[in-house]
Amino acid sequence: MSGRARFGPVLGIETSCDETSAAVVSGGEVIGHVILSQDAHERFGGVVPEIAARAHLRQLDSVVDAALREADLTAERLAGVGVTAGPGLIGALLVGLNWAKGFAWARDLPLLGVHHMEAHLFANSLESPEAQPPFVALLVSGGHTMLLHAERWGSYQLLGQTRDDAAGEAFDKVARRLGLGYPGGPEIERVGRRGEPGRFRLPRPMLSGRDGPEDPSYFDFSFSGLKTATALLAAELEEGDGSLRAEELPHLAAEFQQAVVDTLVGKVMRAVEWSGCDRVLLGGGVARNGVLRTRLAEALAAGGGSLFAPSPRLAADNAAMVARLAEHRLSLGERSPLDLNADPSFTFPGLRPRTRGAVPGEATRGAPCTPS
């Protein structure tokens, strides 16, 4: 399998948002991995770009040293360097990219700048070697919500994406509105455990039964209206002092979470039917959500499909997935020039728009959904 080609240990660097991370991957296996999550942003209720960039600058040297120590390697033993070149926060990206360029140049190592969202696709293969294309992937993070069909590594069809807020962003904003902490996803999940979805009723956006695959937005998402509906419901339930009654909060959190999960699962199942491929891969910080994982696994199991869901550490931002993707591409002979620049709106390599088709199974007819 080309994805497992032997290349030699690759150092990966990830600094696109608020995690400073370095990892060493060798032969598809993680041999050193350090993630330092910046908690300085919590009191601002979101990531402050300037604080993130400065923290990466302070921490990156020691994070790389720790990853190399864990891998029991010196820098001389490395065969290449991979780094997230975009998308992400420009200041944060520049710290990691320039660090990686200097490191690679000084040691005459090949460099590869990778796309952060493509790296999320590779995270599962570090834990489940069979998590190789073809598959349907749902990538859900603080900045992205994407549904795609991967035929091979490097060849992806974009089925749907969000029209407004990303799924994680909706969790974060709703949590803030409900007076919960940041990041909002884990907070909503924690509080929602004590609540009952259905006690209140929120909309399931863009899941109308009348839609069909000929509709250009059949696989798209929208969370902005759901966020507003949640805020309006919260306003109705508030006491005079502007706080939610303690017994209402868990029910509201549980219903919001359920509405997001129903939408995500509904769209994934549409993609499974349309593509004829029932191997599904999850990625991104929202993939940590237990209700999403359980519901998706149940929906797939009912039809004999399978789910690849990364462990919490590999679901969120991390350098192991960056090193894994870089190892794959470096082993195919790809290299980035040393004048590579960080690009906050880096185009996803190999991603093309959906081939319109109203017929379920059309995408993969004649091509079985099994890895080659």
| Binding status of residue 38 toward ligand KG4 by CB under 6 A | no
| Binding status of residue 115 toward ligand KG4 by CB under 6 A | no
**Is the preceding omega at residue 87 within 30 degrees of 0, hence cis?**
yes
Question: Which one of ligand KG4, Zn ion, none is in contact with 189 (Cβ closer than 5 to 8 A by kind)?
Answer: ligand KG4
23 touches 320 (CB < 8 A): yes
| Binding status of residue 286 toward ligand KG4 by CB under 6 A | yes
| Binding status of residue 177 toward ligand KG4 by CB under 6 A | no
Residues 302-361 binding Zn ion (CB under 5 A) are 317
Q: Which stretch binds Zn ion (CB under 5 A): 86-94, 138-146, 221-229, 303-311?
A: 138-146
| Binding status of residue 316 toward ligand KG4 by CB under 6 A | yes
| Binding status of residue 172 toward Zn ion by CB under 5 A | no
11 touches 67 (CB < 8 A): yes
Interface map 318-357 toward ligand KG4 (x if CB under 6 A): ----------------------------------------
Strand arrangement, sheet containing 111-115: 29-37, 19-26, 10-14, 80-86, 111-115
Q: Which stretch binds Zn ion (CB under 5 A): 43-51, 134-142, 271-279, 349-357?
A: 134-142
| Binding status of residue 141 toward Zn ion by CB under 5 A | yes
- Return the residue matching tokens 């891998």: 71
Which residue type sits at 338? L
Looking at 14, 118, 151, 172, which residue binds ligand KG4 (CB under 6 A)?
A: 172
Three-state SS string over 232-269 comes to: HHHHHHECCCCCECCCCHHHHHHHHHHHHHHHHHHHHH
One DSSP character per residue, 67-101 reads: HHHHHT--GGG--EEEEEEESS-HHHHHHHHHHHH
CA–CA separation, 123 and 105 (whole Å)? 27
- Name the site residues for Zn ion (rule: CB under 5 A): 141, 317
- Name the site residues for ligand KG4 (rule: CB under 6 A): 17, 141-143, 168, 171-172, 183-186, 189, 284-286, 288-289, 316-317
